[in-house]
């Protein structure tokens, strides 16, 4: 499998926002210093009155991640937590947020990472190319595929094949459904075996799941 692009690597730290500043300190100096520390092009003071539900956002910064300098697409503070978006890996998103918290703790007396009652969730979006066609369906379905092809398309359109496969947790068990999905890349010939994939997990685990899928290739 070849990794073509990391489209999104998102770490979500769920917690009430007031735990980040439990004593109500004046944080304007911290906001200005944070912008400089991480080279953010945009910061909350540029737009001090965000639209409802948009959150307080820093955008287009930089951080020295696991494998060198990476781009921080955004850090957004919502009422129920913090969302960090990068395009390298969720590990970098976590390392960045941990660095922010440790720095704010040292310089401004904010809580340490160990003091934050946070739950971490992840989103990973990747584009990949498989060397072989993933064995999504039982080979016994091949005759059905041929029948479907004959029924819905002519020879100029090619044979029908799967466009998407998705595994998800039971939505009736929790209000936080998790999923793993693989879709053929849009406007791309089937024979190129290029796919978009979404997973509610860390980037490294997402890649492992896709590699495991390719190991089952026909």
The pLDDT, as a whole number, for residue 98 is: 97
How large is the average pLDDT for residues 116-132? 94
Q: Do 77 and 20 contact (CB within 8 A), yes or no?
A: yes
- 15: how many CB neighbours lie within 10 A of its CB? 15
Q: Do 89 and 9 contact (CB within 8 A), yes or no?
A: yes
With b meaning 16 or more CB within 10 Å and e meaning fewer, what string describes 118-146?
Answer: beebbbbbbebebeeebeeeeeeeeeeee
Q: What counts of helices (H) and strands (E) characterise the chain?
A: 4, 8
Of the chain, the end-to-end C-alpha distance in Å amounts to 14
Burial class (CB in 10 A: 0-12, 13-18, 19+), 53: exposed
The pLDDT, as a whole number, for residue 22 is: 93
The residue among 46, 71, 50, 49 whose CA lies nearest residue 61 is 71
pTM of the full predicted structure? Answer: 0.88
Q: Which helix (H) or strand (E) holds 188?
A: none
The pLDDT, as a whole number, for residue 218 is: 58
> pLDDT-derived band of residue 135, with 50, 70 and 90 as boundaries?
low
Whole-number Å distance between alpha carbons of 123 and 121: 7
Higher pLDDT among residues 66 and 10, named by residue = 10
pLDDT score of 9 more than 90: yes
Least confident of 2-6, 79-83, 173-177: 173-177
How large is the average pLDDT for residues 19-45? 93
Tens-digit pLDDT profile for residues 59-109: 999 999 888 999 999 999 999 999 999 999 999 999 999 999 999 999 999
Q: What is the mean pLDDT of the chain?
A: 90
Whole-number Å distance between alpha carbons of 149 and 40: 52
């Amino acid at each position: 499998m070849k990794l073509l692009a990391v489209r999104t690597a998102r770490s979500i730290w769920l917690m009430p926002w007031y735990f980040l500043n439990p004593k109500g300190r004046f944080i304007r100096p911290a906001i200005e210093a944070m912008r400089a520390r991480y080279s953010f092009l945009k910061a909350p003071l540029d737009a001090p009155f965000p639209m409802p539900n948009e959150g307080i956002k820093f955008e287009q910064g930089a951080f020295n991640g696991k494998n060198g300098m990476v781009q921080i697409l955004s850090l957004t503070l919502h009422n129920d937590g913090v969302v960090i978006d990068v395009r390298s890996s969720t590990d970098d998103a976590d390392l960045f947020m941990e660095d922010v918290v440790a720095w704010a703790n040292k310089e401004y007396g904010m809580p340490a990472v160990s003091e934050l009652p946070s739950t971490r969730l992840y989103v990973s979006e990747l584009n990949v190319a498989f060397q072989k066609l993933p064995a999504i369906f039982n080979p016994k379905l091949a005759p059905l595929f041929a029948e479907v092809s004959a029924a819905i398309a002519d020879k100029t359109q090619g044979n029908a094949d799967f466009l998407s496969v998705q595994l998800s947790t039971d939505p009736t068990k929790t209000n936080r459904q998790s999923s793993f999905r693989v879709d053929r890349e849009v406007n791309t010939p089937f024979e190129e075996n290029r796919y978009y994939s979404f997973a509610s997990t860390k980037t490294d685990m997402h890649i492992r799941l896709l590699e495991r899928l390719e190991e089952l290739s026909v």
